Amino acid sequence: MKKVLLLSIVASAFVFGGGDIAPVEPAVVVPAPAPMVEAPSPISFYVGGGYSRIDADGSGIVEDTGSEVALIPGSASYNIDADNYLLLAGVKINKYFAIEGRYTNSFDDFDYKYNNQFGSIADGEVESYGIYAKPMYPVTEQVDVYGLLGYANTKISGSVGDLMDDSDFSWGAGASYKAMDNLSVFADYVRLYDDTVSGSLLDGDKVQVDSINVGLMYKF
């Protein structure tokens, strides 16, 4: 009799106390997403062209040769300004590095200032070609800044002969803006030559040749 009463009490407790027991669901473990890995930039090729303003400054001891340049014997300083076209082509290894070749030559005769006397060289031209390593840094999706480190040959000539034809370490810096997917605008400064000339009319003269360049680049 006592056992029956005890079972009745236990059953009542389940009825009035909400005796239903909710099933226990297993915990679901959601794996963490894999970290995003940036895909390497594909190698691409590009070409470009533009305008180059050449400025050559020199000084040295010259002889009275009777030419258009050697107007006054003795110590001399001179400046040559030329308007050039610029052609370039390169391969972009990734977004941080490219290899680029450049060529520039004069549109027309160039002007010079020799010991504060002004003149023009008939058939004058300033020609240069070089190869450069081009480290780059993308400031934004549209803007890159870059450096140029390489080696260039520079030749200044005219009806009087070759004033200089020499090679030297060349360097520069600039920036480009991506106007369209495949088209960019660029502007840069390049030191083409900074050394003592040998083997030409300006032999022994210290000459510095700089260029300021603007143009367009097209990426394939």
The predicted-structure confidence for 17-46, as pLDDT tens digits, reads as follows 554 555 556 666 666 665 665 556 689 999
pLDDT tens, residue by residue, 151-171: 999 999 888 788 899 999 999
Listed by start position, the domains of the chain span: 44-219
Backbone angles phi, psi at 104, to 5 degrees: -140, 145
CATH of domain 44-219: 2.40.160.20
Between these two residues, 108 and 101, which has the higher pLDDT value? 101
Residues in a beta bridge with 217: 48, 184
Q: Which residue has the tokens 């001891």?
A: 61
Give the span between the Cα atoms of 213 and 22, in whole angstroms.
79
Backbone angles phi, psi at 162, to 5 degrees: -85, 115
